[in-house]
């Protein structure tokens, strides 16, 4: 019985093996940084609360819930700005995500997309 079971297992591997070997590897995630700065519609000298960033916040929250934004938030610089770590399939997708941001579309902020290759990461939450 053991010999028959072993033969069946070997036959299964011989038949299924090539199909398993040909399965495409899952694409590795590609990471990008969105580096935000105050745009032409930014109200200089005014706090973030009056900058009209509600739609931007909702957009970023949705991307976070979808697993696209891994972390993000404002800088503490007085001139405004922020950063987001984004996962996308390629640079074109990352640029499209940024272009759809309501704060970019309204000119409240400008941003650049930077490719990012993390070499290490913490397992601890970023927020206290």
Q: What is the CATH classification number for the domain harbouring 50?
A: 3.30.70.1060
With respect to residue 4, please indicate whether it lies within any of the assigned structural domains: no
- Residue 91 is part of which domain span? 30-116
CA terminus-to-terminus distance, the chain: 59
Q: How many domains does the chain have?
A: 1
With respect to residue 1, please indicate whether it lies within any of the assigned structural domains: no
The pTM for the full model equals 0.76
**Would you call 118 helix, strand, or coil by DSSP?**
coil
Cα angle value 9/10/16 (rounded, 5°): 85
Per-residue pLDDT tens, the chain, 128 aa: give them.
556 554 444 444 445 555 555 667 767 779 999 999 999 999 988 888 899 999 999 999 999 999 999 999 999 877 778 999 999 999 999 999 999 999 999 999 999 999 999 998 888 888 87
């Amino acid at each position: 019985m053991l010999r028959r079971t072993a033969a069946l297992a070997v036959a299964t591997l011989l038949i299924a093996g090539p199909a398993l070997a040909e399965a495409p590897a899952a694409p590795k995630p590609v990471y990008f940084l969105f580096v935000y700065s105050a745009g032409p519609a930014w109200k200089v000298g005014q706090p973030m609360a009056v900058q009209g960033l509600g739609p931007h916040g909702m957009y970023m929250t949705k991307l976070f819930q979808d697993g696209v934004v891994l972390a993000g938030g404002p800088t503490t610089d007085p001139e405004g700005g922020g950063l987001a770590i984004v996962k996308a399939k390629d640079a074109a997708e990352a640029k499209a995500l940024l272009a759809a941001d309501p704060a970019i579309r309204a000119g409240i902020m400008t941003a650049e997309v930077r490719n990012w290759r993390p070499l290490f990461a913490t397992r601890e939450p970023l927020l206290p």
